[in-house]
Copies of this chain bind each other. A is one copy, B any other.
Amino acid sequence: MPQILGLTRLVRGPAPVPSDLEALRAQIDRLDHELLDLIEQRLNACIAIAGLKANDTSGTLRFRPRRETEVIGRLIDRAEHASSALVTHVWRELMGHCLQAQARTDLVLCASRSPHTLKERVRERLGRAAHAQWVATPEEALDLARRREVVAAIEYSPLTPWWTALRHSNLAAFDLIREESGRLLAIIVGRVGPDDVAEGPSLRVLTEGELEIRRARGETVEPIAASGELRLCLTSQGEANR
């Protein structure tokens, strides 16, 4: 229905800005009502998507991190006045609630060194809608992420190679949380499909041999931790973490 949307915009825009305080406040109130109407339509569309996927047996989460990041990127490109921070903050919250309307998706957090920073950064990434739960060990977090509608943010430590469990599992490390210094703080894992891993360098668990083969092919592969013959590697984007 692009014509209809065109008409809508033609009728509404180009937004004459009133010149007195009362009129401006009234305009803001009207804009807020329209915003709420659109948000409720968006919620309904997300619930309809959940209905279509009710018989989906792929075993992946309703959460689509890559699509979320792409949507936000396109909106940032489209914005004329709104900052990228505004678009990011508002849509992360909105999409977090739309996800919960599709399927309750909990957040499982595991950190001993910087729990507060981890929680703050995960909330920035995923919004505040999800119920958050702390667990004591990476194994508990991985177990919940395997079995439930759960996204797990697990602190990375060179001393605790919990990440070896990502090899040959239905879990993907689909996002990284870094400190301002760039140091890796945590890895976000969940049952997301290969298409849903966010763009940018992704994490992969490779054997020493696989690492060499990829390098010989000219791929950028940077090992950041080792455990036995396994290496946790940052690789250029795209494929599943298997």
CB within 8 Å of B: which residues of A?
A: 4-5, 7-9, 11-13, 15, 17-21, 24-25, 27-46, 48-49, 52-53, 71, 75, 78-83, 85-87, 89-91, 93-94, 96-97, 116, 119-120, 124, 127-129
Contact = CB atoms under 8 A, between A and B. Distances in A.
A136 to B, nearest CB: 19
B20 A89 contact: no
A71 B32 CA distance: 9
A11 B21 contact: no
Contact of A52 (B21, B41, B82, B124): B21
Nearest to A78: B36
B21 A44 contact: no
Given A18-B48, A81-B40, A97 B93 contact: no
Nearest to A29: B71
Contacts of A127: 89
A51 B79 CA distance: 22
A8 B12 contact: yes
A239 B18 CA distance: 31
Nearest to A91: B32
6 smallest CB-CB distances across A and B, nearest first, come from: A116-B116, A86-B97, A89-B93, A15-B41, A40-B81, A31-B42
A25 B64 CA distance: 12
10 contacts: A5-B12, A17-B44, A21-B49, A28-B45, A32-B91, A40-B82, A85-B129, A89-B127, A89-B129, A90-B93
Nearest to A7: B11
Contacts of A52: 19-21, 24
A17 B48 contact: yes
Contacts of A116: 116, 120
A52 B21 CA distance: 7
Contacts of A40: 79-82
Nearest to A33: B78
A81 B13 contact: no
A9 B38 CA distance: 10
Contact of A43 (B25, B81, B129): B81
A34 B5 contact: yes
Contacts of A38: 31, 34-35, 38
